[in-house]
Each structure stands twice: as structure tokens, then as C-alpha cells.
Amino acid sequence: MYQFSFQPYQRTFKQPLQTSHGTWKIREGIILSLTDNFGKTSWGEIAPISWFGSETFTQALNYCRQLPTEITTETIYSIPDLLPACQFGFESAIGANKNQNYNSLTYSGLLPAGKAALQQWGKLWAQDYRTFKWKIGVYPIAEELEIFAEFTHSLPALAKLRLDANGGLTYDEAKLWLYLCDRTKIIEFIEQPLGVEQLEQILELSKLYKTAIALDESVATFNQLQACYQEGWRGIFVIKPSIIGFPSRLREFCQKYNIDAVFSSAFETEIGRKAALNLAVELANPNRAVGFGIDNFLSPDTARI
Ligand code: MG
């Protein structure tokens, strides 16, 4: 039996996050606490991203509001699949957020969309980032290709660049990007070039070009992850633990199929971040940086509880 309480929070992005889905200015989430029969309290975080495929913040809040103040493990494991961020928040709270050693992890630094990226990568490089992620499919393709050309000339040979289209390219645009990526040596992969409903075309593109492709929106929740694997995806999987559902189910899946997994932030507070990084230490491909270099977008503050 646990005493359950929760507290919604809001955090404003230092610079709005622009993706092909639109502009994101405020992160809303919920910090929950569970106190067991011995009086020990542990915390979890619900950090939904509804435009990415999880429940909305309001759905998560309504779920918390209708729960009694005393809940059991059974309550937690009966959270429906429609509430994946809640599944994650509650199960990671009972898994007690251990402080693991994150020294084995390297981080990918997130750059803003458009030209601003050219001004910001140097600052991240100085902080020892060697992998960068740049959002594409936000501005007209001609403009982004020009910026990309500048990138390929200015980034040091040691750097790796990930391009994230957030499903915003047409098939022809994706082919053009992949063609150009094949001609440089700095691209680690291109993320979610086409929409979630276009898995077949993404599979096709993955056979036509050398540049690796990663699925992200397509595998936002556990059911989607399973479905894509079953439909034959063996490329890279970007996993946002905070919205994927129960950590135990993810762990079991990753261990069984040994997928090439890149773990990525959902812009959580320290509580969700720790829970997500604990899984990354255990399950991520150790040769790939984790997508948690987001200090340019949110201050690394601790949530008030
Ligand atoms: Mg992505």
C-alpha cells in the first residue's frame, strides 16, 4: 500500500522548441510521490508529449485526480496503455530512483532549428559535446540545405550530426536529404524522415541509401515499438522512456530483441531524467550518444515538490 500524492508543474523553455509539429513553449507535467508502509517516499514524473503520441497533460492530470490517496501495486499495473506517460511515472516511482553512475554515457546536444544552429554548436562543442542534433523540415528545404552545406564545412571531423525531421518531409525531400547525407561523413543518422503512417516508405528508403535512419515518433509508445519491430524495422529506434509506458516492459523487449536503441529526453525534470537515464545505462546502444543534451532549452532545475 502507498500513500499517493501529486503536484502539477509548468516550465518555460529558455528558447522555444521548434519542430515540424510546431512551436513548444511551456512544458507541463506532474510529479507524483508514493510513500510505502515504512514511511519511505519515492518520486516519479509524468511528462507527456501529446503531439508525439502520448496522452495529453489533462488526461494524465484527470487520471491522477480520480485515484484514491491510497493505492497498491495492482493499481499501478492496471494503468491503461492509453496513458503511457502515467505508466512510466508510476512504475519508475516504485522502482525507487537509484542514483546510478552515468559516466558510461555520452550526450548528444540539441540544436535549434534553422540558422541559429550554426551559432550554437560551438558553445556545445566547448562543453565537450561531439554529437549534435539539428531539427529539419521546419523551414523551406532550400534554406535548410544551405545551412546544412555550411554545417558540413564548419563541423570538425570528429563531430557527428543527427538530422531530425520529426516526420515533416515529403518522400522526394527525404530522398534528397538522404542522397546528400550519403555524400558527407558527418551524419550519424536521419530521424523520422516521414510520418508515422509511412513506415513502408521509410523501410524502402532505408534500403536505398547508406545513411542510417532512426524511428522516433513511429515508436513513441510500447505498442508502436512492438508493431514496428514486427513489421521488420531493424534500423535505429529512438526511445523516449518517459512516454513509452512501463519501464519493465521496455526492459524485457530491449533485452529480448537487442535493438539498436538511442535513448532520448522528453524534457523532464531531474526526477524523470534520472529514471530515463537509469534505463539508458542499462539498455541503450553504448556506441551512440543519448539525446539528453538539452540545457540550451530547459534549465537543469529540480522540480519543487
Ligand atoms: Mg525525434
User: 218 CA to middle of ligand 1, Å?
Assistant: 10
Whether 300 shows a pLDDT value over 70: the answer reads no
197: which strand partners?
A: none
Whether 305 shows a pLDDT value over 70: the answer reads no
User: 65 CA to middle of ligand 1, Å?
Assistant: 31
Q: Percent of the chain scored above 70 by pLDDT? A: 97
- State the pLDDT at residue 67: 98
User: Whole-angstrom Cα distance, residue 53 to residue 55?
Assistant: 7
- What nine digits make up the cell of 203? 523501410
Give the DSSP per-residue string, 118-136: HHHHHHHHHTT--EEEEE-
Q: Which of 88-102, 225-239, 242-256 has the lowest mean pLDDT?
A: 88-102
- State the pLDDT at residue 216: 97
Whether 304 shows a pLDDT value over 50: the answer reads no
CA 70 to the chain's CA centroid: 31
Whether 12 shows a pLDDT value over 80: the answer reads yes
Whether 169 shows a pLDDT value over 90: the answer reads yes
- State the pLDDT at residue 98: 66
Q: Percent of the chain scored above 90 by pLDDT? A: 92
Question: 173-198 as b/e, with b when 16 or more CB fall inside 10 Å?
Answer: bbbebbebbeeeebbbbbbbbbbbeb
Name the band, by pLDDT with cuts 50, 70 and 90, for residue 96.
Answer: low
- Continuous H helices in the chain: 57-66, 73-77, 84-94, 116-126, 141-154, 171-182, 199-208, 222-230, 241-244, 247-257, 270-283
Rounded mean pLDDT of 35-62? 96
Whether 239 shows a pLDDT value over 90: the answer reads yes
* Domain covering 102-293, topology: TIM Barrel (3.20.20)
- State the pLDDT at residue 299: 77
Contact by Cβ (8 Å): 162, 190: yes
- What nine digits make up the cell of 54? 502520448
User: 1 CA to middle of ligand 1, Å?
Assistant: 38
User: 154 CA to middle of ligand 1, Å?
Assistant: 24
Single-letter residue type at 243: I
Name the band, by pLDDT with cuts 50, 70 and 90, for residue 42.
Answer: very high
User: 88 CA to middle of ligand 1, Å?
Assistant: 19
In this prediction the pTM is 0.94
Per-residue model confidence as pLDDT tens digits over 196-213: 999 999 999 999 999 999
User: 61 CA to middle of ligand 1, Å?
Assistant: 25
157: which strand partners?
A: none
Q: Where in the chain is the domain with CATH 3.30.390.10?
A: 2-94
Whether 7 shows a pLDDT value over 80: the answer reads yes
Name the band, by pLDDT with cuts 50, 70 and 90, for residue 303.
Answer: very low
Q: Where in the chain is the domain with CATH 3.20.20.120?
A: 102-293
CATH architecture assignment, domain 2-94: 2-Layer Sandwich (3.30)
Name the residues annotated as catalytic: 135, 240
Q: Indicate the average pLDDT of the chain.
A: 95
